[in-house]
Amino acid sequence: MSTVGFIGVGNMGSAMISGISKRNHDIKLYAYDVDKSKTSNLDSSINIAESLIEICQKSKYIVLSVKPQFYPGLFKEIKNCLTKEHIIITVAPGYSIAKVKLYLGNVVRVVRAMPNTPALVGEGMTSYSFLNDEITEDEHNTIKGVFSSFGKSVKIDESNMEAIIATTGSSPAYAYLFIEAMADAAVSFGIPRDDAYMLSAQALKGAAQMVLDTKEHPAKLKDAVCSPGGTTIEAVLKLEETQFRNSIIKAMTACYNKANKMNKE
């Protein structure tokens, strides 16, 4: 049985832990957080570590699920208890595999991952990278199993990680803004607020599922909704007039540029 330890049980850490505990029974989980109230809320099947040293001693795979500003201090605290058997998994922007090795030493093996918050409901999208000569096939299967426990996962070239941050890491926030705006409009038409959120969210969920299931080009699916002279094409024309697509592209580019800047600091 593989052992996975989480350092940090915030929103992302707790979402990942929950997904693994529910869907992957081949993994023994450990968790540590300086805020004991966070670990006290975990399922009883999760082993609570009393220290960082205990996490290192009992876990082969160590997930650093703390905010990026805490990484340097955390590296100093765990460096001396790591061995070549450990695999460090990062989930924060701004830390390339090379940068992590500068902090922890080249002997440490590193997986760089970017999950997103829909992991909380088992619909996460995680991209991950590692140096191919450092991770065995069995270890890769374990890593993929961890990430697939709370959604979909894909191995990518690390050079694309900043683009992944903009595409999947941050994109739930864009979707929430879209849902909120749709709901506000619906409320202005007289639809009750709770119904407006449910209707808007389900509409977007269904549209996304259509893209995934049919594998049709999004433009073709959009065209199928736009009847000649109808209401939908009127809405689409207004979105084009207000540069909706351009706004999304500019927002993602800003996110991508910020991620690149963080990685170079």
| Distance spanning both ends of the chain, measured CA to CA | 38
pLDDT for the residue 264: 85
Q: What is the CATH number of the domain that holds 90?
A: 3.40.50.720
Name the one residue in this structure whose structure tokens are 């707790």: 14
Structural domains of the chain, count:
2
Closest to 78 (Cα-Cα) out of 96, 45, 99, 100: 100
pLDDT for the residue 164: 97
One domain, residues 130 and 177: no
One domain, residues 100 and 21: yes
One domain, residues 113 and 179: no
pLDDT for the residue 74: 97
pTM higher than 0.85, yes or no?
yes
What residue type is 27 in one-letter code?
I
Q: What is the CATH number of the domain that holds 252?
A: 1.10.3730.10
Mean pLDDT by 10-residue block, N- to C-terminus, for the chain (265 residues)? 95 91 91 94 92 96 96 96 96 95 95 94 96 96 95 97 96 98 98 98 98 98 98 98 98 97 88
With contact defined as beta carbons under 8 Å apart, do 110 and 61 qualify?
A: no
One domain, residues 140 and 191: no
Domain-ending residue, one of 135, 161, 187: 161
Q: How many CB atoms lie within 10 A of CB 157?
A: 8
One domain, residues 146 and 239: no
CA 109 – CA 90 distance, rounded (Å): 11
CA atoms in the 13 A half-sphere facing the CB of 74: 24
Closest to 64 (Cα-Cα) out of 75, 50, 80: 75
One domain, residues 35 and 123: yes
Q: What is the DSSP letter of 233?
A: H
One domain, residues 53 and 154: yes
Domain-ending residue, one of 143, 161, 179: 161
One domain, residues 83 and 193: no
CA atoms in the 13 A half-sphere facing the CB of 173: 9
Range of the domain at 176: 169-264
Dihedral of alpha carbons 20, 171, 69, 157, sign: positive
